[in-house]
Amino acid sequence: MARGVLTERPFRLLFAGRAISSLGDRLVPVALAFAVLDLTGSVTDLGLVIAAQTTPLVVLVLFGGVWADRLPRQLVMLASDCVRALAQATSALLLLTGEAQIWQLIVLQALYGAAEAFFGPASTAVVSQTVSASELQPANALLGLADNAAEIAGPALAGVVVATAGPGWGLAADAVTFLASGVCLLALRLERGEPQPRRSTLAELSEGWRAFRSRTWLWASVVFFTLYMALVFAPFQVLGPAVARSHLGGAGAWAAISAALGAGAVAGGVVGLRWKPRRPLRTAFVVFLLSAPALLALVGAHAPLAAIVAVAILDGGAGSLFNAWWFTAQQTEVPAGELSRVSSWDYLGTLALEPVGLAAAGPVAGAVGFSATLFGAAGIGVLLAGAVLLVPAVRNFSPQDSLAAAQENPARGY
């Protein structure tokens, strides 16, 4: 199935660019963290730099969706790659010459985050312009597989680069991957759809919102992930390493859990190349119901590491499968001319409350205890998955009728 997708030249170029830049992106958390800590030794400064990268992404992603629906999407992605390459190359130069200051890194990472806000919605929508409708799910699964492989290889590579050459070279490598992605996008030739009448930005934002809220399966699932990221995933991110250090054997235990999540995600991507359940959202949320809360509960209970790793593999696979089915659903159910704007609401919903959850996890754990917080998050995960499965539009969602219609009318938007 993957071989069939890769026979289409536009997708090969898109896949190559995404895979290369994804690997570069996974260098950044390690390189940037050590760059800031080497510079000032302050975790507060590190938090400011990370916040500078994520805040513009949240603020601008809806506008990114508007412009990705207005303009040829590969050009929006190319512009984003160029800006991010410039931001990372400048950061690297400042670090390598010993001239870097925290305020400079904050400004440059804010520029990086602003550019990323335009890349995401365009990237989601452009997939449907590079493959036939019947190949959308394998294409999404293959892109997810590349991302998941980068999740495993990137931090390891970053560790080697930072340890042997310094964090500045890690950011320089990221800049080079954006240039490589840009070369692939320059070679990409896509069919243009019918030009859309130009309206005000506010009007187009409103149209995107109406298209988003008119699909119950879409907004209900996004609400799930808005709450899930803040109330379930964020406590796991913050408290998991601390529990591993205190009760599970140290940093090696957390590395094993993280590697298991990544390995599960890769396995899920492979399965997603072929598995097309009739009710994909129902299947995905049932697996979430069984895996994610169990993972948090096992960590909270200080269960044997082998049991935690086994469930982490299942949880990683569930997330990877969900992404393959989720992006395919959007690309088949949402008209091409408004797909980027609709996907931008997905991005916004997923990101909106996660910083709040990350900030609150520590104080809550300090008040009620680490285990109680993780058990509570697990219980919330069960309630959220159960609630979204009660929504008929989610539970009964099937994209197969839309795929059949798309095959009969294969016209693609721009």
**CATH number of the domain encompassing residue 106:** 1.20.1250.20
pLDDT in tens, 335-390: 877 888 888 888 888 888 877 887 787 888 888 888 898 899 889 988 998 999 99
* 143 and 90 co-located in one domain: yes
Q: Are residues 151 and 249 in the same domain?
A: no
Indicate the average pLDDT of the chain: 82
Residue at which a domain ends, from 153, 171, 188: 188
From the centroid of its chain, how far is CA 112? 16
Residue 414 in domain? no
Lowest mean per-residue pLDDT among 78-87, 97-106, 276-285? 276-285
Identify whether residues 163 and 18 lie together within a single domain: yes
Q: Are residues 293 and 391 in the same domain?
A: yes
Tell me what pLDDT residue 193 has.
55
Q: What pLDDT sits at residue 414?
A: 33
Higher pLDDT, 4 or 178: 178
Q: Do 308 and 170 sit in the same domain of this protein? A: no
CA distance 172 to 180: 13
> Is position 204 within any domain?
no
Whether 15 and 110 share a structural domain: yes
Percent of the chain surpassing pLDDT 70? 92
Average pLDDT on 10-14 reads: 87
Tens of pLDDT, residue by residue over 38-65, are 888 776 677 678 778 878 888 888 888 8
Could you give the number of structural domains in the chain?
A: 2
Decide if 273 is inside a domain: yes
Residue 233 and residue 94 share a domain: no
Q: Which of 188, 205, 222 is the last residue of a domain?
A: 188
Top pLDDT among 239 and 172 is at 172
**pTM of the predicted structure, to 2 decimals:** 0.74
User: Does residue 68 form part of some domain?
Assistant: yes
Same structural domain, 327 and 387: yes
In a domain, 196, yes or no: no
Q: Residue 208 falls within a domain, yes or no?
A: no
State whether 174 and 82 are in the same domain: yes
- Note the pLDDT tens digit of each residue in 203-253: 788 888 888 888 899 999 999 989 998 898 888 877 787 787 778 877 677
Q: Quick check: is 129 in a domain?
A: yes
What pLDDT is recorded for position 401?
Answer: 53
Residue 200 inside a domain? The answer is no
The structure tokens 């119901």 sit at 289
pLDDT tens per residue, range 185-195: 888 877 665 55
Could you list the residue range(s) of the whole structural domain that residue 321 is in?
A: 214-408
In this structure, are 62 and 147 located in the same domain?
yes
> Do 138 and 61 reside in the same domain of the chain?
yes
Q: Exposure pattern of 183-217 as b/e (b: 16+ CB <10 Å)?
A: ebbeebebeeeeeeeeeeeeebbebbbebbeebeb
Statement to judge: residues 107 and 26 lie in one domain:
yes
**Lowest-pLDDT range of 23-27, 370-374, 397-401:** 397-401
